[in-house]
Structure 1
């Protein structure tokens, strides 16, 4: 009888040991899988060169840089060095992104224009992006529309922008 109890205890310990090791290893495997998957998606931080242009005439303005962060779950955070804004005039932008097709993504984000000045009226700036990731997933191209609205939501002006992004390493 004692040997049967000893065998049952040994079997229970072996099962518990296997289960415990599975619980430890599974998150590590999932983390590695998620990390690998994100490297081949838009997920991550990007250094972006933006060129605004007149949608009708194609007339371009000088380029400037922005930074975009595409987070797991589909959220987007961005900031810009656009010299058209006065210091402190524009907030950080927040938005969402999703995969449209293979290597193609859509995104939109909104930033507050905190005060009127330098040709901008207090309200919001909304960007709608169509992003194509390159084959190696280390750069992208972006065609975007830009819309400025006042604090009531009335559209005041709009434009277009093209951009290229490089993944931050």
Structure 2
């Protein structure tokens, strides 16, 4: 059986890296302090300073681990966390509730995205903090384009059903 083609992955780089880096910094500072206390010569101060410098330098080079990720295939997305894995087909999604915050100076970001079915029940809620804005925008656009192209909802109140007929009665 052929494996389905993975279009793109949206990784989440969240608070786990902050926690690990703070723990690493505390351990390095403790080791350097113990080394200084044991050897009270001038060379020990230089070695301790070198250890601290290398600790911060290595901290920048070590890649961040992925806590969560969203794998996007042709017709579905797979939301992976440490605890669970949720597979959601685009045809199940009728509405996308996007909570975008744009008060940062750099760029807007998603506070959260909720995928809803036709009866407005929540299928999946993704907390957007930690994901790239461009990746989530691409995901939402992909869902909309696939659903407009291949899915015909019976419900006329669907968010994907656009009608720009000027002669329509109100």
**TM-score past 0.5 threshold:** no
Relative to total residues, which structure has the larger helix share, 1 or 2? Answer: 2
- TM-score tier, shorter chain, comes to under 0.3
TM-score by length of 1: 0.27
